[in-house]
Amino acid sequence: MTITSRLIDVAGGRNKVRVYEGGDGPPLFYLHGAGGLMREDRVIAALARHYRVYAPLLPGYEDSVGEERLRDMLDVTLHGYDVMQALGLSKPLVVGHSMGGMIAAEMAAIAPNEIERLALIAPAGIWLPEHPIVDIFALLPQEFPGYLFHDVEAGAKLMTPGGDMNDVKFLAEFMIANARRLGTAGKMLFPIPERGLSERLYRIKARTLVVWGENDRLIPPVYAHEFIKGISGARLTTIPQAGHLVGHEKPDALVEALRTLN
Protein backbone atom coordinates (compact mmCIF):
# COMPACT_ATOMS: atom_id res chain seq x y z
CA MET A 1 0.00 0.00 0.00
CA THR A 2 1.51 3.33 -0.99
CA ILE A 3 1.31 6.13 1.51
CA THR A 4 1.97 9.59 0.13
CA SER A 5 2.06 12.93 1.82
CA ARG A 6 1.38 16.54 0.98
CA LEU A 7 1.45 19.90 2.71
CA ILE A 8 -1.93 21.62 2.84
CA ASP A 9 -3.13 25.06 3.89
CA VAL A 10 -5.42 24.98 6.89
CA ALA A 11 -7.56 27.76 8.39
CA GLY A 12 -6.93 30.12 5.49
CA GLY A 13 -3.19 29.56 5.56
CA ARG A 14 -2.82 30.11 9.32
CA ASN A 15 -1.39 26.61 9.52
CA LYS A 16 0.43 24.44 7.05
CA VAL A 17 -0.15 20.80 7.74
CA ARG A 18 1.57 17.70 6.40
CA VAL A 19 -1.02 15.01 5.71
CA TYR A 20 -0.14 11.37 5.11
CA GLU A 21 -2.67 9.67 2.88
CA GLY A 22 -3.25 6.30 1.36
CA GLY A 23 -5.50 3.27 0.84
CA ASP A 24 -8.96 2.66 -0.52
CA GLY A 25 -12.15 2.36 1.42
CA PRO A 26 -14.23 4.50 3.71
CA PRO A 27 -12.50 7.65 4.96
CA LEU A 28 -10.60 7.45 8.24
CA PHE A 29 -9.19 10.52 9.98
CA TYR A 30 -6.24 9.55 12.19
CA LEU A 31 -4.82 11.73 14.95
CA HIS A 32 -1.39 10.71 16.19
CA GLY A 33 -0.04 10.66 19.75
CA ALA A 34 2.56 12.91 21.37
CA GLY A 35 5.40 11.14 19.58
CA GLY A 36 3.98 11.89 16.13
CA LEU A 37 4.07 9.40 13.29
CA MET A 38 6.94 7.04 12.78
CA ARG A 39 8.82 6.73 9.55
CA GLU A 40 6.86 4.18 7.51
CA ASP A 41 4.31 4.10 10.29
CA ARG A 42 2.92 0.62 10.82
CA VAL A 43 -0.45 1.81 12.06
CA ILE A 44 -1.08 3.97 9.01
CA ALA A 45 -0.03 1.12 6.72
CA ALA A 46 -2.37 -1.33 8.44
CA LEU A 47 -5.31 1.09 8.39
CA ALA A 48 -4.76 1.83 4.70
CA ARG A 49 -5.46 -1.79 3.84
CA HIS A 50 -9.14 -1.19 4.65
CA TYR A 51 -9.67 2.55 4.67
CA ARG A 52 -8.75 5.73 2.86
CA VAL A 53 -6.52 7.09 5.63
CA TYR A 54 -5.89 10.78 6.24
CA ALA A 55 -3.27 11.30 8.93
CA PRO A 56 -2.38 14.95 9.52
CA LEU A 57 0.63 15.96 11.58
CA LEU A 58 -0.15 18.46 14.26
CA PRO A 59 1.69 21.79 13.85
CA GLY A 60 4.97 21.39 15.74
CA TYR A 61 5.54 17.98 14.15
CA GLU A 62 7.92 17.68 11.18
CA ASP A 63 7.09 20.46 8.74
CA SER A 64 3.56 21.18 9.97
CA VAL A 65 3.71 24.76 11.22
CA GLY A 66 1.63 27.39 12.95
CA GLU A 67 1.81 25.81 16.41
CA GLU A 68 2.30 29.21 18.04
CA ARG A 69 -1.39 29.96 17.54
CA LEU A 70 -2.46 26.66 19.09
CA ARG A 71 -2.18 27.40 22.79
CA ASP A 72 -4.85 25.40 24.50
CA MET A 73 -7.23 22.48 24.12
CA LEU A 74 -9.93 24.51 22.40
CA ASP A 75 -7.46 25.81 19.81
CA VAL A 76 -6.29 22.27 19.06
CA THR A 77 -9.84 20.87 18.98
CA LEU A 78 -10.98 23.46 16.47
CA HIS A 79 -7.79 22.95 14.50
CA GLY A 80 -8.83 19.31 14.13
CA TYR A 81 -12.04 20.45 12.43
CA ASP A 82 -10.11 22.97 10.33
CA VAL A 83 -7.99 20.12 8.98
CA MET A 84 -11.03 17.95 8.28
CA GLN A 85 -12.57 20.85 6.40
CA ALA A 86 -9.41 21.53 4.42
CA LEU A 87 -9.41 17.87 3.37
CA GLY A 88 -13.10 18.03 2.47
CA LEU A 89 -13.92 15.13 4.77
CA SER A 90 -17.47 14.53 5.86
CA LYS A 91 -18.16 12.28 8.81
CA PRO A 92 -15.10 10.04 8.53
CA LEU A 93 -14.31 7.41 11.11
CA VAL A 94 -12.25 9.47 13.57
CA VAL A 95 -9.43 7.56 15.24
CA GLY A 96 -7.05 9.05 17.77
CA HIS A 97 -4.18 7.54 19.66
CA SER A 98 -3.10 8.75 23.12
CA MET A 99 -2.90 12.57 22.84
CA GLY A 100 -4.68 12.19 19.49
CA GLY A 101 -7.41 10.24 21.29
CA MET A 102 -7.80 13.14 23.68
CA ILE A 103 -8.17 15.53 20.74
CA ALA A 104 -10.61 13.20 18.95
CA ALA A 105 -12.76 12.89 22.09
CA GLU A 106 -12.77 16.67 22.50
CA MET A 107 -13.80 17.08 18.86
CA ALA A 108 -16.63 14.60 19.30
CA ALA A 109 -17.75 16.35 22.50
CA ILE A 110 -17.65 19.89 21.20
CA ALA A 111 -19.62 19.17 18.01
CA PRO A 112 -21.42 15.87 18.69
CA ASN A 113 -23.33 15.87 15.41
CA GLU A 114 -20.17 16.04 13.31
CA ILE A 115 -18.66 12.71 14.38
CA GLU A 116 -20.69 9.53 14.10
CA ARG A 117 -17.98 6.92 14.63
CA LEU A 118 -15.09 7.34 17.00
CA ALA A 119 -12.19 5.14 18.06
CA LEU A 120 -10.06 6.12 21.02
CA ILE A 121 -6.83 4.17 21.31
CA ALA A 122 -5.32 4.47 24.80
CA PRO A 123 -6.50 8.08 24.94
CA ALA A 124 -5.06 10.68 27.29
CA GLY A 125 -7.21 13.35 28.88
CA ILE A 126 -8.31 11.91 32.21
CA TRP A 127 -6.35 11.93 35.46
CA LEU A 128 -7.00 9.58 38.31
CA PRO A 129 -5.01 10.67 41.37
CA GLU A 130 -4.80 7.06 42.56
CA HIS A 131 -3.30 6.01 39.19
CA PRO A 132 -0.89 8.81 38.27
CA ILE A 133 0.35 8.70 34.68
CA VAL A 134 4.14 8.82 34.34
CA ASP A 135 5.55 12.28 33.56
CA ILE A 136 6.65 11.91 29.94
CA PHE A 137 8.18 15.39 30.11
CA ALA A 138 10.75 14.24 32.63
CA LEU A 139 11.77 11.04 30.82
CA LEU A 140 15.18 10.62 29.26
CA PRO A 141 15.07 9.63 25.57
CA GLN A 142 16.32 6.12 26.28
CA GLU A 143 13.58 5.60 28.88
CA PHE A 144 10.68 5.96 26.44
CA PRO A 145 10.57 2.41 25.04
CA GLY A 146 10.14 0.97 28.53
CA TYR A 147 6.89 2.86 28.94
CA LEU A 148 5.59 2.60 25.40
CA PHE A 149 5.95 -1.04 24.45
CA HIS A 150 5.05 -4.47 25.67
CA ASP A 151 8.13 -5.81 23.87
CA VAL A 152 10.61 -3.16 24.92
CA GLU A 153 13.56 -4.29 22.86
CA ALA A 154 11.63 -4.51 19.61
CA GLY A 155 9.96 -1.19 20.44
CA ALA A 156 13.27 0.56 20.97
CA LYS A 157 14.40 -0.52 17.49
CA LEU A 158 11.14 0.69 16.02
CA MET A 159 11.59 4.14 17.58
CA THR A 160 15.11 4.79 16.39
CA PRO A 161 15.42 3.15 13.00
CA GLY A 162 19.04 3.16 11.94
CA GLY A 163 20.00 5.50 14.76
CA ASP A 164 21.90 5.21 17.98
CA MET A 165 21.04 7.26 21.07
CA ASN A 166 24.67 6.99 22.13
CA ASP A 167 25.76 8.93 19.07
CA VAL A 168 25.84 12.62 20.02
CA LYS A 169 24.80 13.91 16.61
CA PHE A 170 21.85 11.52 16.33
CA LEU A 171 20.86 12.25 19.92
CA ALA A 172 21.04 16.01 19.31
CA GLU A 173 18.78 15.76 16.27
CA PHE A 174 16.36 13.51 18.12
CA MET A 175 16.26 15.86 21.08
CA ILE A 176 15.61 18.96 18.98
CA ALA A 177 12.75 17.30 17.08
CA ASN A 178 11.47 15.81 20.32
CA ALA A 179 11.58 19.17 22.08
CA ARG A 180 9.44 20.71 19.35
CA ARG A 181 6.98 17.81 19.31
CA LEU A 182 6.64 17.50 23.06
CA GLY A 183 6.72 21.27 23.40
CA THR A 184 3.51 21.31 21.37
CA ALA A 185 2.09 18.28 23.17
CA GLY A 186 2.78 20.06 26.46
CA LYS A 187 0.06 22.54 25.69
CA MET A 188 -2.41 19.68 26.24
CA LEU A 189 -0.46 17.33 28.47
CA PHE A 190 1.82 19.43 30.71
CA PRO A 191 2.09 19.24 33.66
CA ILE A 192 -0.97 16.99 34.10
CA PRO A 193 -2.54 15.47 30.94
CA GLU A 194 -6.03 16.67 31.78
CA ARG A 195 -8.01 19.63 30.51
CA GLY A 196 -11.53 18.90 31.75
CA LEU A 197 -12.45 16.25 29.18
CA SER A 198 -14.29 14.01 31.64
CA GLU A 199 -16.79 16.84 32.21
CA ARG A 200 -17.59 16.86 28.48
CA LEU A 201 -17.64 13.17 27.59
CA TYR A 202 -21.42 13.03 28.15
CA ARG A 203 -21.89 15.15 25.01
CA ILE A 204 -20.41 12.53 22.67
CA LYS A 205 -23.04 10.91 20.42
CA ALA A 206 -20.70 8.90 18.20
CA ARG A 207 -20.65 5.13 18.28
CA THR A 208 -17.44 4.80 20.24
CA LEU A 209 -14.85 2.08 20.54
CA VAL A 210 -12.13 2.31 23.17
CA VAL A 211 -9.01 0.22 22.51
CA TRP A 212 -6.32 -0.46 25.08
CA GLY A 213 -3.11 -2.48 25.16
CA GLU A 214 -3.33 -4.94 28.02
CA ASN A 215 0.16 -4.08 29.17
CA ASP A 216 0.07 -0.29 28.79
CA ARG A 217 2.64 1.10 31.24
CA LEU A 218 2.12 4.75 30.23
CA ILE A 219 -1.63 5.15 30.67
CA PRO A 220 -2.70 2.10 32.64
CA PRO A 221 -5.73 0.17 31.31
CA VAL A 222 -7.76 1.20 34.38
CA TYR A 223 -8.34 4.47 32.50
CA ALA A 224 -10.35 2.64 29.85
CA HIS A 225 -13.20 2.28 32.29
CA GLU A 226 -13.43 6.02 32.81
CA PHE A 227 -14.00 6.50 29.08
CA ILE A 228 -16.48 3.64 28.93
CA LYS A 229 -18.34 5.09 31.90
CA GLY A 230 -18.32 8.61 30.47
CA ILE A 231 -19.36 7.93 26.87
CA SER A 232 -22.82 6.55 26.34
CA GLY A 233 -22.75 3.13 24.66
CA ALA A 234 -18.97 2.96 24.30
CA ARG A 235 -17.37 -0.50 23.98
CA LEU A 236 -13.92 -1.63 25.09
CA THR A 237 -11.50 -3.90 23.25
CA THR A 238 -8.41 -4.91 25.16
CA ILE A 239 -5.51 -6.21 23.07
CA PRO A 240 -3.19 -8.72 24.72
CA GLN A 241 0.62 -8.49 24.57
CA ALA A 242 0.52 -4.84 23.65
CA GLY A 243 1.69 -1.70 25.42
CA HIS A 244 0.78 1.94 24.94
CA LEU A 245 1.74 1.88 21.26
CA VAL A 246 -0.79 -0.88 20.78
CA GLY A 247 -1.22 -0.24 17.04
CA HIS A 248 2.50 -0.51 16.40
CA GLU A 249 2.76 -3.78 18.29
CA LYS A 250 -0.50 -5.35 17.14
CA PRO A 251 -1.62 -3.58 13.94
CA ASP A 252 -3.86 -6.41 12.73
CA ALA A 253 -5.69 -6.74 16.03
CA LEU A 254 -6.26 -2.99 16.04
CA VAL A 255 -7.72 -2.96 12.52
CA GLU A 256 -9.93 -5.92 13.33
CA ALA A 257 -11.32 -4.05 16.33
CA LEU A 258 -11.91 -0.88 14.31
CA ARG A 259 -13.80 -2.74 11.63
CA THR A 260 -16.54 -3.51 14.13
CA LEU A 261 -17.41 0.17 13.84
CA ASN A 262 -18.14 -0.04 10.11
Q: Which residues bind other proteins (CB under 8 A)?
A: 67, 71, 137-140, 143, 168-169, 171-172, 175-176, 178-187, 190-191
Closest CA to 96 of 76, 122, 66, 65: 122
As a whole number of angstroms, the distance between CA 57 and CA 30 comes to 9
Closer CB to other proteins, 69 or 229, in the complex: 69
**Cα(139)–Cα(78) distance, rounded to whole angstroms?**
30
The nearest distance, CB 171 to other proteins, in angstroms, is: 6
- Cβ 146 to other proteins shortest distance, Å: 13
Single-letter residue type at 210: V
Nearer to other proteins among residue 71 and residue 131 (C-beta):
71
CB of 212 to other proteins, least distance (A): 26
What φ, ψ does residue 36 adopt, rounded to 5°? 85, -165
Q: Which is nearer to other proteins, 18 or 117 (CB)?
A: 18
CA–CA distance, 28 with 7 (Å, rounded to integer): 18
Spatial separation of the C-alpha atoms in residues 150 and 217, rounded to whole Å: 8
| Residue whose CB is less far from other proteins, 72 or 252 | 72
